[in-house]
A and B are shown apart, each in its own frame.
Chain A
Amino acid sequence: MDSGLDIDQATITGFSTGDEKAFQQVFDLLFRPLCFFAGKFTGQKEEAEDAVSQAFHKLWIHRAGFNALPAIRTFLYTTVKNHCLDLLKHKAVVDHAHHNIRISQLNADSFAESRMMQAQLLQVIFAEIEHLPAHYRDVLMLSFVEELSVAEIAARINKSENHVRADRSRGLALLRASLKNKKLLEAALLLWTLYEQGYFHR
């Protein structure tokens, strides 16, 4: 059983021999969790995306050395983590002009492991939103992705604000419930299906 998602072996083989399409599949799969992870260090969207694009660049350089998704994932998270720590270190150097600001590596690592776990869990959780009953899903997506206020959503779907609020809460509760009786492997397959359907694409 793998952690949330998998890619078929043919894709991995294509990946390591430099097939750009296969490489892009890996990118699409891991892009959001990695950005989210990087964002926990940088606190800043563009820096997080920078860290991730650079990690994928490194992965591209070393692509021939990988033959399984878990190794690719560990490599990417590690690279993003190191990049972010370097970034923070440079900021510290710059801010304090040569006084040694030490980012505790110990804390950084425990922090990184926590956030990596969070990113991977969120990926399974958020993938499930697609499977909610339509109106719950719509309320959630309008609310979080399009960032509409409760009033705006109410106007858009022609319902009362209280109704929208209730649906939003209920949508999240349903989300959890719908994952309840799924084994993780199923969730993984589901995620893969969604991915294939283009849910994670741009």
Chain B
Amino acid sequence: MEQSVPTHREQTLLPEGMRGVVADFSSDQRAFKTASWGKAMMWIFLLSDTFVFGCFLIAYMTARISTPVPWPNPSEVFALHIGGQDVPLILIAIMTFVLISSSGTMAMAVNFGYRRERRITAALMLATALLGAMFVGMQAFEWTKLISEGVRPWENPWGAAQFGSSFFMITGFHGTHVTIGVIFLLIVARKVWRGDFDTERRGFFTSRKGHYESVEIMGLYWHFVDLVWVFIFAFFYLW
């Protein structure tokens, strides 16, 4: 992360507004003056991921508009039978709250990381990972329930066949992202707990000095997973 600290001359004065945009992009060496390369690269990766999920949602939209068969009502499909009555979408709502809570704990972890309180940071990251694992668990439950009710990528008992393929594709890809996020959270949390970012211990893979910015970059990924869920929740479950 040595490169992330701007040179003394860069620290002086940077123009703001549109003038700043032009100055940054036309400048030497680096366009993103205050974001380290690690953060900029994570953002660019997330942008590419935006296109991946964007294409999935567009494919779902296209299938849903163009089929003459009625689309299954997600409100009824995802209802759970609780206390003698069907509560619509309740599991999805709980999943949403769990994921938002995990985003909250992640944001706090980033904050405490920059305060160099490594134990609290690690604990908050573990809480984030736990909530993420809960989310994946509930998704597994949801998949099991739907599969047992006869939903397949090529058919389902309620209407348009594309419902199954869209559902498994979109939620499956999102669940995979959450799972990868949980694994990386555990890896970074271990580093925080061990004090790698206080001692600037070099990473086993990149041999670069450890820095608390890694927690923030991890956080970017995690918040993105939450962000994608916001769109899936709106377009797939509520529409």
Chains A and B come from one and the same complex: no
